[in-house]
Amino acid sequence: MSASQFIANRFEIKDLERDLLGRGGMGDVYRATDTQTGELVAVKALNPGVVARDPDILERFAREGEALRQLNHPNIVKMVAAIEERGQHYLVMEYVEGGSLQGLLAAQGPLPGVRVVEIALDLADALTRAHRLGIIHRDLKPANVLLAEDGTPRLTDFGIAHVAGSPRLTETGMLVGTVDYLSPEACQG
């Protein structure tokens, strides 16, 4: 077992291997404990190597934190804290226990129609809230939908979201998102 790692003397990752929840293009996500409340949280650690290769990533990471901070909705993962410590950047978010929609589909196969409609309506409501605040997710896919223990979907990973009024980080005509989930009009520029 590896030694515990504390972030801001508050969030404890007990074992970096065992508590790794996932890896993405910008960094790793770990299960941690908020030592002030005792609650589990998810800590997204920005990969310093990615920042060295692409300095715009730091702006995207900050934008993701800002987007989550603005969004207060039962179907969007809640932001707990944004931390910069010794040159390392972290987003601390609510921990969602039930896994992803992608994992559920892989384990169970197609869902019953009623369940599909329930999830779709909850996500449409979450996206409506985001859009009203000028935030466009741009990477909606089953891996970015987490499921609470009671089955409630929570939209996550606003890492490539467009926030109205913020400087553009992508060039006009540039594809952003996961190819398998892009709309036809996005593919056509």
Catalytic residue (one of 139, 150, 157, 180): 139
What is the C-alpha to C-alpha distance for residues 46 and 108, in angstroms, rounded to an integer? 32
What is the C-alpha to C-alpha distance for residues 157 and 118, in angstroms, rounded to an integer? 21
Residues 74, 79, 85: CA angle, nearest 5 degrees: 170
Residue 17 tokens read as 């291997």
| Count, residues in the chain | 189
Phi/psi of residue 40, nearest 5 degrees: -75, 145
State yes or no: is 139 an active-site residue. Answer: yes
What is the C-alpha to C-alpha distance for residues 46 and 185, in angstroms, rounded to an integer? 31
Residue 36 tokens read as 């002030």
> Alpha-carbon torsion 47, 49, 22, 57, what sign?
positive
What is the C-alpha to C-alpha distance for residues 78 and 94, in angstroms, rounded to an integer? 5
- In angstroms and rounded to an integer, the radius of gyration of the C-alpha atoms of the chain is 17
Catalytic residue positions, numbered: 139
